[in-house]
Structure 1
Amino acid sequence: MSLRVEPLTGADLTAALPALARLRIEVFRDFPYLYEGTLDYEAGYVARFAAADGAVIVGAFDGDRIVGVATGAPMAGQLDAFVQPFRERGHDIEGIFYFGESVLLPAYRGRGIGHAFFDRREAHARTLGCSVATFCAVVRPDDHPMRPADYTPLDAFWRKRGYAPVAGLAGQFGWRDVGDAEETQKPMQFWMRTL
């Protein structure tokens, strides 16, 4: 296999958008997100993120096939659901870089791609003058009925990268869970580190 991780720009990014949308739906369908996504929503989301000022989208490839993606952009351009918790606590929004997601097909995990995703986005954030990186993760109860018996949260990986959850810094974001008829709001815990 010839695995590579690289930023997507220009025509390469545009050509990859449909694959990125499908990948998000596939990976986020699993616990803990349990996301019942649609291609229409995802296509718009990925295109909006790609067009954001200062954004970076990093792809992981096995040959020509996209097997993972990670996104990032300055916090100032994000949805209010993500920005407002920081404003309410007096954070300097202009100095914060937001990591939208890292999604990777299960067969490619444990090969250093997750670290490469963080490395590329952190480097990009520094070139923009950002001093803090953040992301958020859904909070699900330990006894959630759809939690697999062998589920291992990514907390240890994130801590190894220097990130920590910030007490009291949380938001809400809504989506429809697998098997549900209606969208519900989910608690989202923010993690941060100084760059």
Structure 2
Amino acid sequence: MAPSLHYVTLTGAAIEQVFDDLAHLRISVFRDYPYLYEGDVSYEKNYLKTYARSERSLLFAVYDGNKMVGATTCIPLADETGEIQMPFQNAGLDLDSIFYFGESILLPHFRGIGLGHRFFDEREKHAASFQTYKLTCFCAVDRGNVHPAKPANYRANDTFWLKRGYRKDNTLQSQMEWPDLGEDHPTPKTMIFWTRPLIN
């Protein structure tokens, strides 16, 4: 499978070229537990403008033919939205020294062939290229230990993230809102951050 795939790297304003592909991929993948995201293309494209406005943002995308089947993004934390910056500001951390990793999303058929590691490699390499950032971070939704929509065979990514050197920091939490499947209105979700010192 892997030899048939090709990769596209875009930065800054060029990311807007693939807003439609990325928005639809995000909605498709985030419908699954634990995000359970109802999805809205106009909302997605509006959010993605944050990445197009940042000169140092990165999109690394995986295509099978003309179809985007996977993608990952990263951006300086200082260029992200206030809800993502807030816990770091409250902790007295320097936003200008932190790089934020956005989504890592893959359609199910393309998982298990090493692309998860490739996503982290590409983002870490990009962040380190500026030689000014000391920390990388990302966040994951906290659905608790029991949730009615949790599949019986669900396996969290925690072990993978720990092996990559990331540590969950329960002191860094934020609230984000989106409509769950079947909901008409957004509801708040607790997001917990994972961090790792950046090795330049």
TM-score normalised over the length of structure 2: 0.92
Q: Report how many aligned residue pairs link the two structures.
A: 195
Q: Distance in 1 between matches of 2:16 and 2:80?
A: 20
Matches within 5 A, 1:1-195: 1=1, 2-9=4-11, 13-128=15-130, 129-195=132-198
Q: Would the aligned equivalents of 1:53 and 1:77 in 2 still touch at CA under 8 Å?
A: no
Q: Would the aligned equivalents of 2:136 and 2:196 in 1 still touch at CA under 8 Å?
A: yes
Q: Would the aligned equivalents of 1:3 and 1:63 in 2 still touch at CA under 8 Å?
A: yes
Alignment-mate amino acid for residue 110 of structure 2? Y
SS at match of 1:8: strand
Cα shift readout 1:42-69 (whole Å, capped 9, x = no counterpart)? 1222233223231001101223321011
Q: CA RMSD in A?
A: 1.6
Q: Would the aligned equivalents of 1:164 and 1:191 in 2 still touch at CA under 8 Å?
A: yes
Q: Would the aligned equivalents of 1:135 and 1:190 in 2 still touch at CA under 8 Å?
A: yes
Alignment-mate amino acid for residue 178 of structure 2? W
Q: By how many angstroms is 1:9 displaced? A: 4.6
Q: Distance in 1 between matches of 2:136 and 2:108?
A: 25
Unaligned runs of 5+ in 2: none
Q: Distance in 1 between matches of 2:82 and 2:16?
A: 26
Q: By how many angstroms is 1:11 displaced? A: 9.1
Cα shift readout 1:134-176 (whole Å, capped 9, x = no counterpart)? 0000000221000011100110111111101013111111111
Q: Distance in 1 between matches of 2:17 and 2:186?
A: 30
Alignment-mate amino acid for residue 165 of structure 2? G
SS at match of 1:114: helix
Q: Would the aligned equivalents of 1:132 and 1:193 in 2 still touch at CA under 8 Å?
A: yes
Q: 1:15 to 1:78 in 2, by over 3 A?
A: closer
Alignment-mate amino acid for residue 73 of structure 1? I
Alignment-mate amino acid for residue 46 of structure 1? L
SS at match of 1:119: helix
Q: By how many angstroms is 1:10 displaced? A: 8.0
Alignment-mate amino acid for residue 168 of structure 2? P
SS at match of 1:151: coil
Q: What is the aligned-residue identity percentage?
A: 45
TM-score normalised over the length of structure 1: 0.94
